Amino acid sequence: MLPCTGRIEESLLLKAFENGADGVMVIGCLEGDCHYVSGNIRARERVKRVYSILDQIKIGPERIRMYNLSAGEGAKFAAFANEFVEQIMELGPSPINIVRAKTAQKAPEEETL
Amino acid sequence: MITGTPKPIEEILEMVEPYDNIIVAGCHGCVTVCRVGGHKEVEVLSSTLRLARESGGSKIEINELSLERQCDPEYVETLRPLIDDYQAVLSIACGAGIQFLAEKFSKTPILPGINTGFLGVTERQGEWSERCQGCGDCVLHLTGGICPVTRCAKQLFHGPCGGSTAGKCEIDQNVQCGWQLIIDRLKALDQMDNYLKLKPYKGWDSSRDGGPRRIIREDMI
In a domain, residue B220? The reply is no
> Which has the closest alpha carbon to B66: B81, B78, B74?
B78
pLDDT at site A112:
67
Q: Return the amino acid letter for B15.
A: M
Give the rounded percent of residues in chain A with a pLDDT score beyond 90: 87
pLDDT, tens digit, 9 for 90 and up, residues B27-77: 999 999 999 999 999 999 999 999 999 999 999 999 999 999 999 999 999
Q: Is A86 at the interface with chain B, CB within 8 A?
A: no
CB B58, CB B75: distance < 8 Å: no
DSSP string, B165-210: BTTEETTEEEEEPHHHHHHHHHHHHT-GGGGGGS-SS---TTTGGG
**Position A105 confidence tier, pLDDT thresholds 50, 70, 90:** confident
- B42 and B113 fall within a common domain: yes
Give the chain A residue whose CA is nearest to the CA of B42: A11
Environment class of residue A87 by beta-carbon count within 10 Å: exposed (0-12), middle (13-18) or buried (19+)?
middle
- B143 and B106 fall within a common domain: no
3-state secondary structure chain A: CCCCHHHCCHHHHHHHHHCCCCCEEEEECCCCCCCCCCHHHHHHHHHHHHHHHHHHCCCCHHHEEEEECCCCCHHHHHHHHHHHHHHHHHHCCCHHHHHHHHHHHHHHHHHHC
- B110 and B8 fall within a common domain: yes
Residue A56, min C-alpha distance to chain B (Å) = 7
- B82 and B189 fall within a common domain: no
- In three-state secondary structure terms, B65 is strand
Q: Which helix (H) or strand (E) holds B63?
A: strand B61-67
Phi, psi of B131 (to 5 degrees): -130, -25
- Sign for the CA dihedral angle at B105, B109, B114, B118 comes to positive
Helix B9-16 vs helix A39-56: crossing angle, to nearest 10? 50
> Which has the closest alpha carbon to B158: B172, B177, B174, B179?
B179
Q: What is the mean pLDDT of chain A?
A: 93
The rounded distance, in Å, linking the Cα atoms of B174 and B164 is: 12
How many CA atoms within 13 Å lie on the side-chain side of B141? Answer: 4
Chain B residues contacting A via beta carbons under 8 Å: 8-10, 40, 43-44, 47-48, 50-52, 54-57
ipTM over 0.85: yes
Its domain, for residue B11, covers 2-118
Output DSSP code: residue B71: T
Q: Does the pLDDT at position A113 exceed 70?
A: no
Q: Output Rg (C-alpha) for chain B, integer angstroms.
A: 22
- B25 and B103 fall within a common domain: yes
The rounded distance, in Å, linking the Cα atoms of A22 and A94 is: 5
Mutate to test the interface with B, among A7, A8, A9, A11 (most CBs of B within 10 A): A11
In a domain, residue B128? The reply is no
Give the chain A residue whose CA is nearest to the CA of B13: A57
- B13 and B113 fall within a common domain: yes
- B71 and B110 fall within a common domain: yes
CB B39, CB B26: distance < 8 Å: yes
Beta-strand pair B61-67/B21-27? parallel
- B147 and B114 fall within a common domain: no
pLDDT at site B131:
97
Give the chain B residue whose CA is nearest to the CA of A58: B52
CATH of the domain at B81: 3.40.50.2300
pLDDT at site B36:
97
- B79 and B171 fall within a common domain: no
Angle value at C-alpha A26, between B63 and A8, nearest 5 degrees? 45
Residues of A in contact with B54 (CB under 8 A): 96, 99-100
- B26 and B102 fall within a common domain: yes
CB A34, CB A13: distance < 8 Å: no
Q: What is the mean pLDDT of each run of 10 residues along chain B (221 residues)?
A: 97 98 98 96 98 96 98 97 98 98 97 98 95 94 96 93 96 96 97 86 84 93 90
